[in-house]
Amino acid sequence: MTSRSLHPDTVAVHAGREDLTDLGVHAPPIDLSSTNPLPDIETGGSAYETLASGGYPEGTAVYARLWNPTVARFETGLARLEHAEAAVAFSSGMAALTAAVLATTRETGRRHVVAVRPLYGGTDYLLASDLLGVETTFCEGTSAAVAAAIRRDTALVVLETPANPTLDLVDIRSVVMAADGVPVLVDNTFATPVLQNPLKFGAAMVLHSATKYLGGHGDVVAGVIACDEERAAALRRVRAVTGALLHPLGAYLLHRGLATLPVRVRTQQANARAVAAWLADHPDVARLYYPTDDHPLIGRQMDGTGAMLSIELRGGYDQAARLTSAVQVFTHAVSLGGVDSLIQHPAALTHRPVAPEARPDAALVRLSIGLENPTDLITDLDRALSVNGHVHPPLTAIRSRIPDLQT
């Protein structure tokens, strides 16, 4: 059976493992070789040229900076989940984004990028700087705004949906049409392949900070881009030259993480819905950032509301600082998507380098909801928020209004 005939949950478990029976093993092997034997000079030279040009190994893998079989297994698994011809893994999400910009500008000879705000702070800062030799126009995520930003020398459109940290949802198909042939890269980190497949809506590349949900356990840093084979070859060329290949041990952990990705994401989403329902009525919460079921893109583009949410506190920065310090079940740390729940202040941390006009409000706190019991998460937030002077109604008083808390 092909991946197209299998449920995504099945693909997550089996993709990239098709040859294990022939190898006589059950768990994927880890190849930690930094260099590989060369049968002869001609074979080695030809293989080196092929790999450095973005191709696949022929006769020998030559050197680990060019290609690694453990990394390739993870790439196969992610590509299948994103319905892509190929995927290319990198040492971090920022390395993946850098490669996408460099490969696209090199192939097209164009030096202009359109970026839809809000974005992850690192992405925003990199595109706003002159480090990659590109000029970036930032705009809102409407088709009209994107169309107005496109120029004759535009090489790439970059967007993130749901957006970090406000969870704004962007209509991918609408942006692709507005881009009028300019390739669109979608950061799919928050949604994951379980809830959204941007290639289905016309995106050219799908980027993941694999550090987050794909790995899911906070023990690996990586990035990956899913796309067609032609773009993948260009990305591999950049990766080979810049040395941004993912370490094989990280690739092994990520490949293992894919098997449980659907189960983790759906449970985390259910927990987030419970936490969001509780926060929506809290007197200290001025605004809750979390997609609602009646949003036109939920069910049409994104299969669920996800497990990320943000809140704007009435007490501003001071209250945000007290909350993040007072939690005990949540961990005060950057990153997201792991099995444990995290809380952080974007303006002070992940979005600190962003231009002031695009920086999140100082009262905004971002929560990544994990696999803990949602009642424990709510109790932790309730206790931490009560430090700020408000006492929310006890859980018993609101349990009947939140179905996810019934058990």
Q: Is the dihedral of CA 28, 32, 34, 35 positive or negative?
A: negative
For residue range 268-319, what is the model confidence (pLDDT) as tens digits?
999 999 999 999 999 999 999 999 999 999 999 999 999 999 999 999 999 9
Tokens of 173: 């198909």
For residue range 330-386, what is the model confidence (pLDDT) as tens digits?
999 999 999 999 999 999 988 888 888 889 999 999 999 999 999 999 999 999 999
pLDDT average, residue stretch 26-47: 96
Torsions phi, psi of 113, nearest 5?
Answer: -125, 140
DSSP-derived 3-state class of residue 291:
coil
Residue 73 predicted with pLDDT over 90: yes
Between CA 198 and CA 84 the distance in angstroms is 10
pLDDT average, residue stretch 256-261: 98
Q: Out of 80, 212, 231, 237, which one is annotated catalytic? A: 212
Percent of the chain with pLDDT over 90: 89
What distance, in Å, lies between the first and last C-alpha atoms of the chain? 38
Q: Out of 48, 73, 117, 120, which one is annotated catalytic? A: 120
For residue range 177-186, what is the model confidence (pLDDT) as tens digits?
999 999 999 9
Between CA 363 and CA 371 the distance in angstroms is 26
In the chain, CATH 3.90.1150.10 covers 262-405
Q: Out of 9, 31, 65, 314, which one is annotated catalytic? A: 65
Q: Out of 124, 168, 171, 187, which one is annotated catalytic? A: 187
Residue 407 predicted with pLDDT over 90: no
**Cβ 38 vs Cβ 285: under 8 Å:** no
Which residues have C-beta within 8 Å of that of residue 63, sequence separation ≥ 6?
Answer: 34, 35, 36, 48
Residue 1 predicted with pLDDT over 90: no
pLDDT at residue number 398: 46
Residue 200 catalytic?
no
Residue 266 predicted with pLDDT over 80: yes
Fold of 3-259: Aspartate Aminotransferase; domain 2 (3.40.640)
pLDDT at residue number 401: 45
pLDDT at residue number 388: 55
DSSP-derived 3-state class of residue 160:
strand
pLDDT at residue number 397: 46
Residue 173 catalytic?
no
The CATH class for the domain spanning 262-405 reads alpha beta
How long is the chain?
407
For residue range 103-156, what is the model confidence (pLDDT) as tens digits?
999 999 999 999 999 999 999 999 999 899 999 999 999 999 999 999 999 999
Residue 212 catalytic?
yes
Nearest to 151 by CA among 125, 182, 189: 182
Q: What is the mean pLDDT of the chain?
A: 94
In the chain, CATH 3.40.640.10 covers 3-259
* Neighbouring-strand partners of residue 313: 285
